[in-house]
Structure 1
Amino acid sequence: MIKTIIFDFGDVFINLDKAATSREFNNCRVPELTTGLLDKNLQYEKGLISSEEFVGAYCSEFEHLEKEQVLKSWNAILVDFPKYRYEFLKKLSEEKDYKLILLSNTNEIHIDWVKENVPFFEDFQKCFDAFYLSHEINFRKPDTEIYKFVLEKHQLKPDECLFIDDTKENTNAAATLGIHTWNIEPTREDIIDLFIAKQDLF
Structure 2
Amino acid sequence: MIKNVIFDIGRVLLDFEPFIYLNNLYSDSNLSKLLYEEIFCSKEWIGLDEGSINDIDAVNIFCKRNPNYNKEIMQIMSNWTDILSPIEGTVEVLETLKKSNYKIYLLSNFHYNAFNQVYSKYKFLKLANGIVISSHINLLKPNKEIYNHLLDKYSLKASESIFIDDTLANIEAAKSIDIATIHFKNSNQLKDDLKSLNLL
Where in structure 2 are the equivalents of 1:18-167 lying within 5 Å?
19-20=19-20, 26-27=30-31, 30=34, 33=37, 38-66=42-70, 69-72=73-76, 75=80, 78=83, 80-83=85-88, 85-96=90-101, 98-108=102-112, 110-111=114-115, 114=118, 118=121, 121=122, 123-167=123-167
* 1:167-191 deviations in Å (ceiling 9; x for gaps): 10100011011110000113x7454
Gaps of 5+ in 2: none
SS at match of 2:45: helix
Distance in 2 between residues matched to 1:183 and 1:132, nearest whole Å: 19
Instruction: Tell me by how many angstroms 1:88 deviates.
Output: 3.7
Larger helix percent:
2
The corresponding residue for 1:183 is 183
Distance in 2 between residues matched to 1:52 and 1:192, nearest whole Å: 40
Instruction: Tell me by how many angstroms 1:40 deviates.
Output: 1.8
Aligned residues: 193
Task: Tell me the TM-score normalised to structure 2 length.
Answer: 0.79
Distance in 2 between residues matched to 1:111 and 1:156, nearest whole Å: 23
Distance in 2 between residues matched to 1:49 and 1:132, nearest whole Å: 18
Change (3 A) 1:173 1:21: farther
Instruction: Tell me by how many angstroms 1:43 deviates.
Output: 1.5
* 1:53-111 deviations in Å (ceiling 9; x for gaps): 11111011111222553452782893531445434423432332x22100111113543
Change (3 A) 1:161 1:136: same
Instruction: Tell me by how many angstroms 1:152 deviates.
Output: 1.2
Distance in 1 between residues matched to 2:142 and 2:86, nearest whole Å: 24
Over the aligned positions, Cα root-mean-square deviation in angstroms equals: 3.2
Contact 1:8–1:102 (Cα < 8 Å) also in 2: yes
Distance in 1 between residues matched to 2:195 and 2:169, nearest whole Å: 23
Contact 1:18–1:77 (Cα < 8 Å) also in 2: no
Task: Tell me the TM-score normalised to structure 1 length.
Answer: 0.78
Instruction: Tell me by how many angstroms 1:149 deviates.
Output: 0.5
Q: For residue 83 of structure 2, what is the amino acid of its counterpart?
A: L
Contact 1:2–1:159 (Cα < 8 Å) also in 2: yes
Gaps of 5+ in 1: none
Instruction: Tell me by how many angstroms 1:166 deviates.
Output: 0.6
Distance in 2 between residues matched to 1:15 and 1:38, nearest whole Å: 20
Instruction: Tell me by how many angstroms 1:45 deviates.
Output: 0.7
Contact 1:75–1:110 (Cα < 8 Å) also in 2: no
Distance in 2 between residues matched to 1:28 and 1:109, nearest whole Å: 24
